[in-house]
Structure formats: C-alpha cells, structure tokens
Amino acid sequence: MRVLGILVSIATLVHVTLAQGERELVEAFTKVPSCAQKCSVKTLGAAKCELLDVRNCFCADEALQLAVSVCVVETCTVKDQSAATIILQTEICNGIPHPSRSAEIIRDVIIIASITFPIIALRFISRSLVSNRLWLDDWAVVVAAILMVPMVVIPIYNATLGFGKHFWDVNPDNVVILRKLYYISQILYILVQGLAKVSILLLYLRIFPDRNFRRIIHIALVWMAARTIIFVCVIVFQCIPVAVSWDQSVVGKCADQQAFVYAGAAVSIFEDIVIMFLPVYELNALTLSLKKRLVLVFMFALGSFASITSIIRLKYIVSYGTTIDLTYANVDPVIWSILESFTAIICASLMCLRPLIVKIVPKSFPSTEMSEATRTPTTPGWAKSINVKLASKMRHSSNRFELHSQGGEGLVDSDNVIRVQKSWVTETHPARTAESLEMKGRSSCGTLPTGKNSWDQEG
C-alpha cells in the first residue's frame, strides 16, 4: 500500500561512487514496482530528496511519505502496493522509528472499560436492594453490556495488528482484517448508543405515571428504534457491494462517510438534549423544596451528560473519511466514539444507583416522601401518582400488597388465616380547596376459614 517507489529512477540520475551500503539501498529501490517508482520520482524529485540521503529526507518525513503513498494507492494495484510497503519497511527505512499510538489505544480502552463495567455491576446491585427483578430499562443495559465486550476487544486487537500506526507502516496482510473489524465496530457503536438512550426512556416510562408524558415517551422510543435501524442500515450499506468497505481490491462505490458522521453526531446531540429536558415538566408538578428539586434534576440530568462527549467528538471527526491514512488518523474518532457510548451507559446506570448510595450513606439524599411531595389533582395521572407513592411506603411491589399468612399447630390448611391490613387518613374539604387531600381510616381483612370474606370497617 504504499510508498515506496522511492527513487529507483533517482538512482539513475545520481553520478557518484557508491559504497556497499549505498549499493544495497539502490538495489532495494530496483525491487520497487514500476508504478511506485514513478510516484517516487515525481514526489521526491519535487522535494529535492537525494538518493543517498533518502533515510533522512524521506523516511523521517511523514508529509513526504503520505504524498508518495497517495500516489501509489491511486496508481498501483493492491498487490504492487503491498510489495512496495514491504520493501519500505524491511529494507529502505528499516531501523527508522515509526510514530505509533497503538499503546495509547490499548491503555485508553482498558481505562474506559474498567470504569464502565463496575458501574454497570453496581446498577444491578442497587436494583437487588429494591426488588428481585429486572425492568425493561435494566434489560436494555444488559444487552448493551454484552455488545460492549467486543467494543473493548476489537480496538485492543486492532492495535496489535497496526491500528495506531501510519498505514504505510502497517503490514499489508493485516489491512483487510483491520478494516473489517473497524466496520463491525461502527455498527456496535450505533447499537450501544441507541440502547443507552432507550434505557433512560424506559426508566422515565416506569417512574412517571402522567398519561400525556407517557405518550411522549412512547413516541421517543419509536423514534429511537427507527433511528437506530436506519443508521445501522446506512453503515452496513455504506459501500456497494458491501465488501468494498474492507477490501480495496473490490470495485464499487461508497457514500460520503463524512456527511453521515456529521449527521449522526447532530442527531445524537439533539436526542441527548431532549432526553435531558423531558422530565422537567413532571418535576415541576411536584411540590418540593429547592434542595430536593435540585437533587432530582441532577439525577435525571445525568442521563444526558454523554452529550458532552458527543460535542467533543465533533472536533476529531473533521478529517473522517477524507484521508487514506485511516489506521492513524482515525485513532481519536475511535477512542472518543467508545468514550461517548460507554459514557451514555454510565449515565444511564448512575441514575439507578440512588438506593445503593442511600444504603451506604443515608444522609446523601434528602427524603422525598409523600408528605413532602404532592401533585396537584389538575395534573393528569395525579391519582395514580398518589397511589404509587402510598404503595411505596407500604412495602408495595408491582402494584400488589404483601400478604402475610398466619397458621398454627391446631389449624388445618383450610383454616389458615390471611390478614391484609391497610391504613389511611381521609379528610375532605369543600370543592374550593380540593387541591388539598388527606386520607384517614383503617381497613382490615378478617379470617378466611370457609372461603367467605369477612370485612370490618373502622371509620
């Protein structure tokens, strides 16, 4: 792929007596395919790079190597590109240090993963403190976590194959597998990003009872599903035939990748902003102190902190799809894409860590019990909200009250006693003050020895 025409033709123009090492250098040039030789003569001649000084003026100059490489890629077959690259690496520029960010990729990916996966684990530990089941938002994170494993493995493996080096320093035999794994990583990025946002929306759907708000969430979920499917299809079919995406020997046509990347980034940032502000109306309907309101706003705003990484990532995708040096130029876009999608999962999980934090540090979150947070009855879904909050104080789970069975040694199965007790306070006011409700009362369920219900009401 690349480079090396390097001056075979220049050797014929230089009239000097060559030492043994210099003759070996000229012999190496003669092995370069003719198409690469022409590129070398044209580029190196214009740069006034002399044959005997080629190791200094060419091998140490990235801009000159890139110029020759572009010419070689445009004029030589893949086979000739590979031959030229091997000669450059093993004979002409052998021993010259080559820039590499491979170690940086491995380090950064490991650090990001070592932070993300423990937070995901804490999410499910926190969930176990509240209930023994997983909700839909939890399952979305489970699927995302499974997809995140290859997102960690692929860049680390690619770094061992040469990703992070200039493409003229990469073994030609590794190019196809590098491009193929990069292609897969693009699909995984879209899926994980979409699942992170779906998880947050499903959390909103679970905790907010307002009917109109839930309609908005359902619309947002449909949008996320459609958007994710469309973007995945665009990535899969970015080149026709698909194999062109990773095999340069296949003849085909590819879409404008830079336009797609910018469109995807813009849509993602817009979604983050919408998700961040969706709960604002619902939170305004709660009568809370400023401190408690700020705590809740902060909790829900966590879900959109990933938009910060999305905005920063824009800085590094300016040259995306416009350079042939993909293995080196795409290092920052890859790292920031991983950071963006993993940060989205982190934020979605942090929103669910409150029970764990409260258990460890009880005073870390102020109480937001029913007595301190009420909704006005004019708000849709108000009654349901009241029921949810009351039930949460009565060890309520999944809209069911706990039943405590009591039996004794002298009782047969049919004589088992099941008691259900519920207390409340009811105080009604004239219609003009209907916004203030307080419930009083007591209800108890008696024994059920014969299959007949016996109810006592105490007012």
Distance from C-alpha of 316 to C-alpha of 151, rounded to nearest angstrom: 19
**CA distances from residue 102 to 52, 162, 171, 376 in whole angstroms, order as listed:** 31, 7, 14, 58
Clarify whether residues 150 and 173 are in a common domain. Answer: yes
Pairing of strands 417-419, 421-427: unpaired
Tokens coding 162 = 């040469």
Clarify whether residues 152 and 28 are in a common domain. Answer: no
> How much is the pLDDT for 16?
44
Clarify whether residues 202 and 320 are in a common domain. Answer: yes
Clarify whether residues 142 and 242 are in a common domain. Answer: yes
Residue the block writes with tokens 């000084």: 53
Distance from C-alpha of 402 to C-alpha of 268, rounded to nearest angstrom: 43
Q: Which of 60, 92, 124 is the last residue of a domain?
A: 92
Clarify whether residues 204 and 263 are in a common domain. Answer: yes
Clarify whether residues 337 and 264 are in a common domain. Answer: yes
Q: Which of 92, 123, 141 is the last residue of a domain?
A: 92
Distance from C-alpha of 177 to C-alpha of 430, rounded to nearest angstrom: 76
Clarify whether residues 238 and 271 are in a common domain. Answer: yes
> How much is the pLDDT for 23?
66
Tokens coding 283 = 């939170």
**Nearest partner of 91 among 39, 55, 120, judged by Cα:** 55
Residue the block writes with tokens 């004979």: 91
- Residue 322 in domain: yes
- Residue 393 in domain: no
Distance from C-alpha of 37 to C-alpha of 70, rounded to nearest angstrom: 13
- Residue 112 in domain: yes
Query: Residue 397: beta bridge partners?
Result: 400
> How much is the pLDDT for 137?
92
- Residue 1 in domain: no
**DSSP code, position 456:** E
> How much is the pLDDT for 366?
52
Distance from C-alpha of 250 to C-alpha of 239, rounded to nearest angstrom: 11
- Residue 373 in domain: no
Tokens coding 147 = 């997809």
Containing H/E element for 438? strand 438-445
Clarify whether residues 188 and 312 are in a common domain. Answer: yes
Clarify whether residues 79 and 206 are in a common domain. Answer: no
- Residue 256 in domain: yes
> How much is the pLDDT for 193?
93
Clarify whether residues 256 and 195 are in a common domain. Answer: yes
Condensed to tens digits (0 to 9), the pLDDT of residues 275-306 reads 888 887 777 777 667 777 777 777 666 656 77
**CA distances from residue 19 to 26, 35, 59, 408, 454 in whole angstroms, order as listed:** 11, 27, 20, 107, 112
Q: What range does the domain containing 149 cover?
A: 102-364
Tens digit of pLDDT at every position of the chain (459 positions): 444 444 444 444 444 444 555 666 677 777 788 888 788 777 777 777 776 677 777 777 888 888 888 888 778 877 788 788 888 777 777 777 788 999 999 999 999 999 999 999 999 988 888 777 888 999 999 999 999 999 999 999 999 999 999 888 888 788 889 999 999 999 999 999 999 999 999 999 988 888 999 999 999 999 999 999 999 999 999 999 999 888 877 888 888 888 888 888 899 989 988 888 888 777 777 766 777 777 777 766 665 677 788 888 888 877 666 677 888 888 998 999 999 899 999 988 887 887 787 778 776 555 544 333 334 444 444 444 444 443 443 344 444 433 333 333 334 444 444 444 444 444 444 444 434 444 444 444 443 444 433 333 333
**What is the domain count for the chain?**
3
Q: How far does Cα 323 stand from its chain's mean position?
A: 25
**CA distances from residue 228 to 182, 232, 245 in whole angstroms, order as listed:** 18, 6, 20
Distance from C-alpha of 80 to C-alpha of 34, rounded to nearest angstrom: 9
Clarify whether residues 244 and 179 are in a common domain. Answer: yes
Clarify whether residues 82 and 132 are in a common domain. Answer: no
- Residue 113 in domain: yes
Exposed / middle / buried, residue 322 (Cβ in 10 Å: 0-12, 13-18, 19+):
exposed
- Residue 43 in domain: yes
**Nearest partner of 96 among 71, 70, 61, judged by Cα:** 61
Q: Which of 64, 92, 120 is the last residue of a domain?
A: 92
**Nearest partner of 309 among 337, 274, 277, 289, judged by Cα:** 337
